[in-house]
A = this chain, B = another copy of it.
Amino acid sequence: MLIVMKQTATADEMDAVCERIASMGFEPHPMPGATRTAIGVTGNQGPVGAHLLKEMCGVLEVIRVSKPFKLVSRETRDRTIVEVGGKVQIGKELAVIAGPCSIESYEQASTVAHAVKAAGANIFRGGAFKPRSSPYSFQGLGKEGLEILATIREETGMPVCTEALDEENLELVAEYADIVQVGTRNMQNFSLLRKIGQLRKPVLLKRGMAATLEEFLMSAEYILSGGNYDVILCERGIRAFSTHSRNTLDLSIIPAVQTNSHLPIIADPSHGVGIREAVEPMALASVAAGADGLMIEVHHDPDAALSEGAQSLLPGQFQQLMDRVAKVEAAVERPQ
């Protein structure tokens, strides 16, 4: 931590600040400068009570220096590879998690699953429990949806990824899913994160709509601090002022995560832009930016979809996307 003194701060005021730092058990380091003095603080393991110092006479500003995340930090580990269902190694090979927004029926799920598998997807997705902004919208098939997912896994050999909405259905979801997804609106549902930290199962953590990099990593920290190290991060668009896309897909967080953390990060262009024709260009951009994978919504009959039809790709469109993704992946030579 660093204390910046006002230009007008007196020697007595500086002494008082140094004394308080010492009384807190830390060490003050006064640095007289050309126009003002700054005082460094060392010896603190965790966050120091900045407000104790900020309001003292002569203090202009208190600047926090240390980053609060520990277990997720790149400083502690090189790269995490998350193994999913004994089949896919996220962080090593490109993960393509594809499927419908919601599981609507066995026929729907099976049709889409076989199509995405044929096109090259390696993980199947589909919601059984759906978070909907309106209480009057379709809320998912629940347990029946999970059973359909298990059947699909058996039929296709693909691991499955589905969302746990709350602590109540987490146990059930964890029983069926190969990857438990935490939705964007739950990124700071700390009670849920704690419970998920107790699982020994891969977790896909979606970035909150207004989450900074630090908050995103701190939510992952909750899960790791419970002992579950298999966390996959997912950028899915932030809320900005733009109206030309549903959200603003912030691909710059991909290199930023890679600099600050060892966790793999994938992108979800379907939710990120929310417009069918923009999904492919943004998927290609995600891979080019270094994403460890993609999450893509696919539906064989989007016009009849019970949710998010407008952003779902048709199987043929997904096939074309996969062909082009493969070329971009080869072009950027992902480290394997």
Contact = CB atoms under 8 A, between A and B. Distances in A.
Contacts of A7: 75
Interface string A249-285: 1111111100110000000000011011110011011
B45 A40 contact: no
A200 interface: no
Interface stretch (A87-95, A110-118, A217-225): A217-225
Interface in A33-48: 33-36, 38, 40, 42-46
Contact of A213 (B190, B209, B243, B281): B243
Interface in A291-336: 302-303, 309-310, 324, 327-328, 330-332
A288 interface: yes
A269 to B, nearest CB: 9
Contacts of A243: 212-214
Contacts of A2: 2, 38, 40, 63, 65
**Which 10 residue pairs are nearest across A and B when measured between Cβ atoms?**
A33-B42, A166-B191, A210-B210, A51-B310, A288-B288, A327-B331, A185-B188, A284-B288, A285-B289, A244-B256
A133 B187 CA distance: 10
A95 B330 CA distance: 23
Contacts of A288: 281, 284-285, 287-289, 328
Contact of A215 (B49, B133, B165, B166): B133
A49 B303 CA distance: 7
B165 A46 contact: no
A4 interface: yes
A21 to B, nearest CB: 12
A245 interface: yes
A158 interface: no
